Amino acid sequence: MIDKEKVWKAVLEALRLAVSPGTYGTYLKQTELADVREKDGRLLCEVGCASSFAKNTLEQRYWGQITEELERVTGNKCEIILIVKSRKADEQDSISGPLFESKEVIKGGWKKANLRETFTFDNYAVAGSNQMAFAASQAVARKPGEAYNPLFIYGGVGVGKTHLMQAIGHEVLNNDRGSVLFCSGEEFTNDLVEAIRFKSTDKIRLRYRKVKLLMIDDVQFIAGKPTVQEEFFHTFNAIQKEGGQIVMTSDRPPAEISKLEERLRSRFGAGLIVDIGPADFELRTAILLIKSRQRKIDLPMEAAQVIANKIEGVRELEGFLVRLISEAEMKQQEITKEWVEEVLEIAKPGNGRAKIITSTEVFSVVGNYYRLGIQQLKGERRTKMIAWPRQILMYLLRYELKLPLTEVGRMVGDRDHTTVMHGSNKVKLGMETDQRIKTEVEDIKKKLFT
């Protein structure tokens, strides 16, 4: 008998790490595993969604990720059906259109501001790589609209940009300094598209422009979208004119965001730009201890050090911790240094088992195998000699590193998630039907894991 609540909790925890906090809060957080039954040797899983808008979004953009996580947690092939949960009449939305179903600008109350409860300054591990960004964020939280406006934080995946930005939001709310709104660049774009569709642009302007603190995660997403950039430009000006604060994060500094309008590039750089570097060993260890304490799990220092020594990426680090805790709970296993080494498959050097790999290594191995440079793999050329290696790269990043489609797309030249899905699925299907392709991919994986 499958414990639906336990299974779905594990699935949501993994998905929470794979998508932006705004996306998780808007579309995934209110879902539930409504029913599970066997059908033709696989599990038929009914997933309840909070609204038809959430259901449609999950079907179009996150179907594959949800299925993959369900299969990982249950150990079975799964087929999912998304349904809209029935709600009482007094719980129905009175506002027409999907734009304002799940997010509201509020004064006091981190949930409706789209903030994660644990993303506070107290839970943020500080080291040399993030010290300046941490100090700047505290200054902004103390005096929003006065110190460093806008604040632009950039850095690689999983270094703590979103955590730091949301910590500012918590501090502003806790000290009653005004209303707060957090969203991603993608959500801002989607909101604007829906507002245009439902002819409700006045509502979106009221929603975004009346806040004291506007936080935009992954702001680089709006680049190359003229209508979105136009709206954001006026939103930016309106907030600053009223003395409000703007905080943004990106994977690169404004000067390196291609297809960003010069007037926005100028405004982004008018305040303070700070970067967050990769986490060192001590910081990775501290992050593991903080995250395990938040989950009320006793992670021994030596076990945390073993993990930190093996895994460099913070997002990969947290992802491994989630899976470790999930496995420990399922098996009722005490977390010890020895067991962690076993899970990491490094207990016996030279035993031929898999190692933890990074995206950098994947790029390097694929590039060397096909004698291509990294920029060629990321580039626009679609000749067969480049397109096929690029698709294998997408396949490995998606299925071996378990990275979300959007993240793989960002790494491989800012490609759309549907392009990543098509490319990686093409390789996966090819391996099942063509022995030559299977041998080719297995050869690359051997080079990657040895």
**DSSP of 202-250, one letter per residue?**
HHHHHHHHT-SEEEEESGGGGTT-HHHHHHHHHHHHHHHHTT-EEEEEE
Tell whether the model's pLDDT for residue 303 goes beyond 80.
yes
Query: Do 101 and 53 meet the contact criterion of CB atoms below 8 Å apart?
Result: yes
- The verdict on whether omega for the bond into residue 349 sits within 30 degrees of 0, i.e. cis, is no
Residue with tokens 């209508």: 227
- Compute CA distances 211 → 147, 155, 226, 290, 335, whole Å: 17, 26, 24, 31, 45
Q: Encode burial over 235-259: b for 16+ CB neighbours within 10 A, e otherwise.
A: bbeebbeeebbbbbbbbebbeebee
Average pLDDT over residues 288-294: 89
SS3 content of the chain, % helix, strand, coil (to 5): 55, 10, 35
Question: pLDDT at position 355, please?
Answer: 53
CATH says 4-90 is which class?
Answer: alpha beta
Q: Choose from 45-54, 55-64, 293-302 the range with maximum mean pLDDT.
A: 293-302
Order of strands across the sheet that contains 272-276: 180-184, 213-217, 245-250, 151-155, 272-276
Cα 239 from chain centroid (whole Å): 27
Tally of CB atoms within 10 A around 215: 27
- Pairing between β-strand 32-39 and β-strand 42-49 as defined by DSSP bridges: antiparallel
Average pLDDT, the chain: 84
Q: How many CB atoms lie within 10 A of CB 137?
A: 25
- All structural domains of the chain with their residue ranges: 4-90, 131-276, 281-344, 359-449
**What 3-state class would DSSP assign to 279?**
coil
- The answer to whether the Cα torsion of 389, 395, 396, 401 is positive or negative is positive
pLDDT (0 to 100) of residue 244: 95
Bridge pairing between strands 78-84 and 42-49:
parallel
Local confidence band at 444 (pLDDT 50, 70, 90 cut-offs)? very high
Q: Are strands 180-184 and 151-155 parallel, antiparallel or unpaired?
A: unpaired
What tens digit of pLDDT does each residue of 191-234 get? Answer: 898 888 888 888 888 889 989 999 999 999 999 999 999 999 99
What SS3 class is residue 264? Answer: helix
Q: Give the integer Cα–Cα distance in Å for 324 and 333.
A: 10
Q: What is the pLDDT of residue 22?
A: 67
Separation CA 213–CA 180 (nearest Å): 5
Class of domain 359-449: mainly alpha
Q: pLDDT, tens digit, for every residue of 152-170? A: 999 987 788 999 999 999 9
Inter-residue contact 390 to 412 (CB < 8 Å):
yes
- SS3 of residue 299 by DSSP: coil
CA angle 12, 411, 183 (to 5 degrees): 50
The CB density around residue 181, as the number of other CB atoms within 10 Å, is 26
In one letter, which amino acid is 58?
A: L
Distance CA 240, CA 1 (A): 56
Q: What is the pLDDT of residues 56-114, one digit of tens each?
A: 778 777 887 888 888 888 888 888 888 887 644 334 333 333 333 333 443 445 556 77
Q: What is the DSSP letter of 120?
A: S
Q: Which fold has domain 131-276?
A: Rossmann fold (3.40.50)
